[in-house]
Amino acid sequence: MQEPTSGPQPPESGSAPARSPLSTTPPYLREYPRQYLNVRVLDPLTAYQVMDQADVQPSAFVADTLLVRGFHEETASALAEVAAEAGFALRWDPRGERELEVLDGADLSDEERERVRDIWVRRVRLVPADPRDPVFRPIDTWRLLQAYRVKVGGRRSPRHADVGLEHPAVADPATSGHPITGGHPITGGHPITGGHPITGGHPITGGHPITGGHPITGGHAIGQYVEPGWGGRQPVSWLGAEPAPSYPLDGSVPRPVVAILDTGVGEHDWLEGDVVEHDLEVLGLEIGVDPASAQGDLLGVSDEMVGELDQDSGHGTFIAGLVRQACPEAQIYDIRTYGNDGQVAESDLLTCLQRLALRQVLARNGVGGYTPVDVVSLSLGYYHEQPGDAAFDRLLLGPIQLLGRYGAAVVVSAGNDATSRPSFPAAFAPYDGGMVADDEQVVPVSTVGARNPDGTIALFSNDGPWVGYLRPGASLVSTFPRTYDASANPSHEVVTAGGEVRASFDPDDFSSGFGVWSGTSFAAPVLAGEVAAALAAAYRSGDTDLSTSAAVSRVRALLRGLKGREL
């Protein structure tokens, strides 16, 4: 992999201009959509701090829960003590007990069992210690976390980083919904803005595609990408053929396996049969969260009173189509990690990753009939409150590194906030000065930023030395569930005397099965598909050793051979 620069560099003669510094304050943290999760935003000006800790930055966190890594008695005891001092008690997520039973009974070596247990994270809720008292003040989990760190002895204690805040991860921390949407398919009226089909009466005239000459209408430049015609989510027609595999998918040659942790893969003829496997499990544990509602999943609509497409509706299906286009041989694992609102509590994300990592270990060992995963596509992330301290984000790093240790390439989107502040897991990619060193025994995280169709870097794309790859991520065409036809309608429709229906554009009718969308969410699966395609070529040539060491070496070599970012 080509190593990115650690900062802006002066351009050489005749070369492209140097990258300019980006903002380090993502707008996403200023107006966090708190209605989805019980979250607060940590304010460095008022947050309690401990003398020997790294500086604190703004971060969103779930208000009344903490995450605990491992099963160490010292950790649980110290946390219970500081909670009691604050008048609260610990209520552990019951999932943890079931998972511990499964881990203890799994067919693992002692070393593997310890390795898996060490990265396992459980959620604990802080509840009033005396349930008879009907009135209590909400707990400040950040202050409690600081007290815990002091209790166990500060940074020098091995238990210091066992407890952390629970962050709400979003599908690429975007400013207006996700990935570059803004809630409703169009936003700001109907069908585009300004009443008549576009503006100015005649079909698509009036200068620029929306209104008023310049790109959108006096808004922020990044807002262009939410508009249909400028890369925003909209239906399109597809005239090409379905991607065709280069060899028979009869088991005679291995197929690359790509796990997509996203909103789920909907109905589409490209994604049927043995192309996509749903409902994964490991030792009886489901991998993935249940849909909020079957109807919302099918139609992309959760609010029946309004009937609009949710901001991330179709996200996972779009990603699966991109992988299929790049690698028709790929076997796709559909792991529904969050709903169509594009948000997931970190504990739920970790549950998916941990169970997938356990499955990966068993698969590489030939246990349970599981097939190993080759590539994991993650289009989500969050901003950590102490990104400069490597010890404070081991909770999410643990299962990701375990997947890499057992031969899976984890590919992550950079984020859509046009910021240079590291988001996670994107910033787990190895780079000079980063928190994760490259290890020959582990497939590294690969982080992907977005390019425009002309090859320039998309204005919304996050950037930093952890972004090792750039791939197309604006105005991409891919699959959408054919079942989507929400409440927006054509502005004009008429039935002629001959019975033919004539209409203007319906902005949320995806019965064609295809659409356009933009975001680093989609640059990541483009690279994931490339990795899978390179693996398919290797398998086709006879390189079919699926042992752990061979898988790690093979994928690392393939990543080095793929085009990194150009400086």
Name the residues annotated as catalytic: 262, 315, 521
| Residues 23, 450 contacting (CB under 8 angstroms) | no
CB atoms closer than 10 angstroms to residue 155: 15
- Separation between Cα atoms, residue 150 and residue 314, nearest integer Å: 45
**Count of residues for the chain?**
567
Amino acid in position 94: P
State residue 514 phi and psi, 5-degree precision. -140, 155
- Separation between Cα atoms, residue 505 and residue 490, nearest integer Å: 5
CB atoms closer than 10 angstroms to residue 181: 26
| Residues 445, 429 contacting (CB under 8 angstroms) | yes
- Separation between Cα atoms, residue 233 and residue 266, nearest integer Å: 16
- Separation between Cα atoms, residue 531 and residue 182, nearest integer Å: 31
**Is there a cis peptide before residue 191, judged by omega within 30 degrees of 0?**
yes
Please spell the DSSP secondary structure of 485-505, one letter per residue.
B-S---S-EEE-TTS-EEE--
- Separation between Cα atoms, residue 21 and residue 554, nearest integer Å: 35
Q: Cα–chain-centroid distance for residue 19?
A: 25
Tell me the two tokens of residue 322. Answer: 């991109």
- Separation between Cα atoms, residue 192 and residue 438, nearest integer Å: 48
**Is there a cis peptide before residue 179, judged by omega within 30 degrees of 0?**
yes
Long-range pairs, 224-229, Cβ under 8 A, ≥24: 224/459, 225/180, 225/458, 225/459, 225/460, 225/474, 225/518, 225/519, 226/176, 226/177, 226/180, 226/181, 226/182, 226/187, 227/186, 227/187, 227/192, 228/185, 228/186, 228/192, 228/505, 228/507, 228/516
CA angle 138, 141, 143 (to 5 degrees): 105
Tell me the two tokens of residue 329. Answer: 């041989």
